[in-house]
Amino acid sequence: MRPSPLAALFATVRSLKGVGPKVEGLLNKLLAPRQPSAHARVIDLLWHLPVGLIDRAITPRIVDARIGDIATLEVTVTEHRPGGCLLYTSPSPRD
């Protein structure tokens, strides 16, 4: 029997404000992928820690950007020409 102050941690994520059925389904898929009938709990969400980091502080000029590196480019859009609808036809008879 767990202490009552911890009960909120073991509630389903649906108990959180702003989590409806759609978000609950996505969180279940993310946090309990091996158990289709399992429901994600608040504690599962708290322990879902980041596994990596992308440093977006590198802002080289376009000419200095290296191929294969992640870089944030600051650009100014000087002109925009809205295009028409692009039609793609697949050569495959199944599509």
Domain that holds residue 40: 4-46
In a domain, 90, yes or no: no
What is the average pLDDT score of the chain? Answer: 86
In a domain, 71, yes or no: no
Task: Note whether 13 and 19 are within 8 A (CB).
Answer: yes
Taking only the tens place, the pLDDT of each residue in 69-86 is 888 988 899 998 887 777
Q: How far is residue 9's CA from residue 5's CA, in Å, rounded to a whole number?
A: 8
The pTM is what?
A: 0.53
Taking only the tens place, the pLDDT of each residue in 27-55 is 998 887 777 778 899 999 999 988 898 88
In a domain, 14, yes or no: yes
Q: Closest Cα partner for 27 from 40, 14, 36, 16?
A: 40
In a domain, 54, yes or no: no
Average of per-residue pLDDT across 44-67: 88
